[in-house]
Amino acid sequence: MNKDFLHTLGLQDDNDGSSTGQTGMHNPDAHLVSRSPVDGSEIGRVSVTTPEQYEQIIAKAQEAFQYWRTVPAPQRGEIVRQYGDALRANKDALGRLVSYEMGKSLQEGWGEVQEMIDICDFAVGLSRQLYGLTMHSERPLHRMYEQYHPLGIVGIISAFNFPVAVWSWNAMIAIVCGDVTVWKPSEKTPLCGVACQNIWAKVAKDNDLPEGISSLINGDYTVGEMMTKDERVPLISATGSTRMGKIVAQTVAARLGKTLLELGGNNAIIITPSADMDLVLTGALFGAVGTCGQRCTSTRRLIVHESRYDEVRDKLAGAYDQLRIGDPLDQNNHVGPLIDTDAVDTYLKAIEGIKNEGGNLIVAGGRIDDLGSDCYVKPCIAEVEPDSEMARKETFAPILYMMKYSDLQEAIDIQNSVPQGLSSAIMTTNMRESERFLSAAGSDCGIANVNIGTSGAEIGGAFGGEKETGGGRESGSDSWKAYMRRQTNTINYSTELPLAQGITFDLQPI
């Protein structure tokens, strides 16, 4: 395989196959080994951040914040604009690295980098729109308003499935808000983090910026714990499993810090009698098998009206027969590997759990052993009862559960019955059904779509979910407010000092 993209991104291979980059600090005694799920080969190694090095990084970040918060927001936006242009120049190489290190298709790898470019564009515009509010005071000759100030250091903990985009959702918004960032990428995709930092480092150098505006730390969960326990980091934005999120939430709450959590999803599409079958097949297929089922918005459940059930089942099974599984950098393939063999084991255990519950495998899954690594599996479809215990869990793999319903309220209740609340969709051409689904008595998820799938959110809207998904919101809309502190200001321009609520507090003249 041609790996020129590693050189393009400043990831230089040496004789032992290791790669180094702008990680901020280097520990010669411990490394993360990045191994591609595509072919099982070692891509490179990244040094693990020690506690001593972490302290140096935080000190540099604090120093950079003292400067960065005083830079006018539109000037901060100009730096983000330059970073977006640098991403455009490196879109092909970075997309290939995402595909090779994580395993998603090359189209999805390029798409993820495009998300980074899009959020840069959004952040540039936002840099001139960090609006506050004005309101009327009850006291004469007084003015009241609200404004937003930067928080400080924003700690970002990202997951392997979107190894670059989710960081950018947080970092680009935080940076235009006047914050500085410290990023811990997933230990399963560390080179993607190094590559993004290399690109940032050149933009920062070209503009004579302090090193600490964007910093990188690497390691396992213990490195992330350094940030979650650190009172100098007022906001932790963490993406990952619900289990991880609960630990982060408790740790940060214990020091009264702020969290922005993007956790598990168990996303469903409701298919009504009036659904357009072409939309159903496209939405369900990509939602279930895109990124090999490793998106937090992946479609896990199809809740199908009994009158359309057999048709959906048969057509979807036929579509699965056409899927091409293999090297994700080969654009003829639809589905790449799972991230590692642990994920494969989890997938296989889930299939056994389906069988033990009495579920019926419409499309049998299983491991694929002849594609160059041990991480390839077959996407699976299983018929289960709506209250199936397996269908209530999030298995980060291409397993799709099908179940029947008889009326719309029953379908909505089934959808909402799981602990997670990220993304949801309904396929219908009936306006009353779509509006009911979007009403307060409808979907309880943070994302609710009509006639599109559960996967593939745009950056213009706030992204996030409810219940065990964590309640956070990232990316577009007014998500920027999570990265700032709100301040209410009252100005008295009179010669008297009246108290609010008409309170009198008279003193004798002194």
Q: Which residues are catalytic?
A: 262
Nearest to 103 by CA among 381, 326, 395, 367: 326
Q: Terminus-to-terminus CA distance in the chain, angstroms?
A: 87
Burial class (CB in 10 A: 0-12, 13-18, 19+), 458: exposed
Q: Is the dihedral of CA 288, 291, 293, 295 positive or negative?
A: negative
Q: How many CB atoms lie within 10 A of CB 255?
A: 12
280 with 427: CB under 8 angstroms? yes
Give, as one character, the DSSP assignment of residue 471.
Answer: S
Closest CA to 292 of 371, 229, 221, 358: 371
Least Cα distance to 196 among 236, 170, 165, 219 occurs for 165
- Give the Å distances, CA to CA, from 101 to 11, 39, 40, 59, 190: 13, 10, 10, 31, 9
Single out the residue of 151, 154, 131, 174 nearest to residue 484, CA to CA.
Answer: 151
Which residue matches tokens 């302290």?
Answer: 55
Q: Which residues pair with 374 in a beta bridge?
A: none
- Pairing state between β 447-450 and 466-467: unpaired
Backbone φ and ψ for 45, nearest 5 degrees, come out as -130, 145
Identify any residues that bridge with 402 across adjacent strands, giving them in sequence order. Answer: 302, 383
Reading phi first (left if > 0) and then psi (alpha if -120 to 50, else beta), residue 205 is in alpha
